[in-house]
Amino acid sequence: MTPSRTRRALDRYSVLFGIAMLAAVLGNPISSVLSSLAEADPAAMGTGMALITLVLAGFLATARARGPVAVSAADASWRLLSPLPRASVLGRTARVLATVAVVAGIALGVALLAVLGAPDHLTWRLLTAVAIGVSLTVGGLAVAVLAQAEQQWNSWLNITLVVLVLLAAVSAGGQGRRVLSTVAAAPPSAGAVVAAVAATAAALLVRQAWSAITRMPARLILAASTRTGNAATAAVSLDPGSLTWIAEDNHWRSRTLKSKPWPRLPAPLALAWQDWRRLAARPALLGLMAGSVALPTLFAQAGAGMVAVLAGALAVAAMGVSGARRDAGNPAMAYLLGVDRRTALAARALLPALLSTLWLGAALVLLSAAGALPGGPWWLFAPAVAPALAAAALRIARRSPVDHAMPVIDTPGGAVPTGPLFWAMTGVDLALVGCAPFVLALVAEPATLTAALVAQAALGAATLGGYLARAR
């Protein structure tokens, strides 16, 4: 055997040995987890299906945002613009896409089984669910590839996304509960037929997508590669913060803009005005924010309402701090503008405070209406919490890149790099501290909310004041 062949054989042996070891170690835990999935909670079926549908929609939207057909910067420079057949240049990309789709599909299938349950024939139903899940993700990714090449398919992808969101809304609303119960109780043979149809449809789409890949114009792949390349650079350097920056640039670069006179405001407000204008120019994002108000009520059914309400309010607040993010990442424009940093930040806190007030207020009203919260004016917490959330959103926007020089701590569960951990917690820490009375009230559910409201209003204002005073 030649040395390279020996090495290849050794590589294969290592991979097979690794898989066998994994199966031996994880076999029992996985089978017990899968057995526990057999029992589904009929009350949570609608919520679960809504979440699965939203995850699938998110998967497809991400695939489209990424390209999905893109190549590395080196391939884009050297191999794409060459006489090499496109199929060979893009072969690796296709394999990566297929792997991602299959892995996502398996996870989706298992989640599907967890939601619908398996009253009998667990193995058979698991295989059916996985087959359906893989067909959905592989077929969906094939549609995303076709959408990259042809406008007509792009329209179909848009329709698919809208249908998925509507299905999620229907499932969450409980209207589809009877249908879901019928599906869950259907015999395994019916599931097999659905899986077979889905797999056939996915196979046809994959065939068409592969044909599109081999004919895809270089300009489309180059455009996607630039997007993915920037994102990959950010991921390689483990600076997730720049991903937001890249996403913003990509969004606005492809849009037709129209100048409007700048309102005559005092300097800090004139600077902060750009965030208001930018958000007003994104009705879809505003619609998404408005729609997501119902998510905490949805998550409350799964026992995660408190986390959803806080995370959602912080996420919404973070939608209004682009200007602060830009100036923190590259202060050249801030030097040119010469506006006092603290007053600029104070002016920039107004929008995230307003956004979180509106969102949290509406979410708390819905939670109260759904009976997930005891009686009382819970919505009053929204304005009380808003300053703390605005400070936290500004802290998130202005955080430094991940510090990889920070130590890695060995724990029984494995090595934990503290750099990314600290980075991820920057901003969230301020939200947790600044919203403590609200969180405690959510946990303790006191008979009267007055004390908690007063404490929250004081702490919220102090959090923002302290953040602005310490801002550098």
Partner 1 sequence: MTEPIIRVRGLTVEFAGNPVLTGVDLAVAPGEAVAVVGENGTGKSTLLRCLAGLQTATSGTVDVFGAPPADDPPFWRQVALVADEPAWYPGLTTRDHLDMIQTIHPGKSEDSPAPSFTGASGGHDVDTMLEAFGLRDRGDVAPLNLSTGQRQRLTLASAFLRPSRLLLLDEPERGLDAAFRRRLHSMLDAYTTAGGTVVMATHDHTLAAPSTRRITLDAAR
Binding mask 140-179 for partner 1 (x = CB under 8 A): ----------------------------------------
In 3D, which of 406, 393, 380 has the Cα closest to residue 464? 393
* CB burial readout 121-158, b (16+ within 10 A) else e: ebeebbbbbbbbbbbbbbbbbbbbbbbbbeeebbeebe
In 3D, which of 255, 250, 376, 374 has the Cα closest to residue 305? 374
Specify whether the CB–CB gap between 117 and 38 falls below 8 A.
yes
Taking the C-alpha atoms of residue 348 and residue 332, their distance in angstroms, rounded to an integer, is 18
Under the binding rule (CB under 8 A), the answer on residue 405 touching partner 1 is no
- Report helix angle 341-348 to 450-470, nearest 10: 140
The H or E element spanning position 416 is strand 414-417
Tell me how far, at minimum, the Cβ of 219 lies from partner 1, in Å: 16
Taking the C-alpha atoms of residue 463 and residue 427, their distance in angstroms, rounded to an integer, is 12
What is the SS3 string spanning 356-415? HHHHHHHHHHHHHHCCCCCCCCHHHHHHHHHHHHHHHHHHHHCCCCCCCCCCEEEECCEE
Radius of gyration of the chain (CA): 25
Under the binding rule (CB under 8 A), the answer on residue 267 touching partner 1 is yes
Tell me how far, at minimum, the Cβ of 65 lies from partner 1, in Å: 16
Specify whether the CB–CB gap between 86 and 9 falls below 8 A.
no
Under the binding rule (CB under 8 A), the answer on residue 92 touching partner 1 is no
Give the residue with the Cβ less far from partner 1, 271 or 360: 271
Length of the chain in terms of residues written: 472
Tell me how far, at minimum, the Cβ of 250 lies from partner 1, in Å: 10
Give the residue with the Cβ less far from partner 1, 95 or 251: 251
Q: Which stretch binds partner 1 (CB under 8 A): 33-41, 182-190, 243-251, 303-311?
A: 243-251
Under the binding rule (CB under 8 A), the answer on residue 283 touching partner 1 is no
Binding mask 340-379 for partner 1 (x = CB under 8 A): xx--------------------------------------
Q: Which stretch binds partner 1 (CB under 8 A): 40-48, 301-309, 319-327, 351-359?
A: 319-327
Under the binding rule (CB under 8 A), the answer on residue 8 touching partner 1 is no
Under the binding rule (CB under 8 A), the answer on residue 397 touching partner 1 is no
Under the binding rule (CB under 8 A), the answer on residue 285 touching partner 1 is no
Tell me how far, at minimum, the Cβ of 225 lies from partner 1, in Å: 17
Under the binding rule (CB under 8 A), the answer on residue 339 touching partner 1 is yes
The residue from 1, 236, 332, 443 that contacts partner 1 (CB under 8 A) is 332
Under the binding rule (CB under 8 A), the answer on residue 249 touching partner 1 is yes
Give 55's contacts (C-beta < 8 A, 6+ positions apart).
108, 111
DSSP H helical ranges for 90-187: 91-116, 122-149, 151-173, 177-185
Give the residue with the Cβ less far from partner 1, 323 or 383: 323
Residues forming contacts to partner 1 in the complex (CB under 8 A) are: 248-249, 251-253, 255, 257-265, 267, 270-271, 273-274, 277-278, 281, 322-323, 326-327, 329-330, 332-333, 335-341
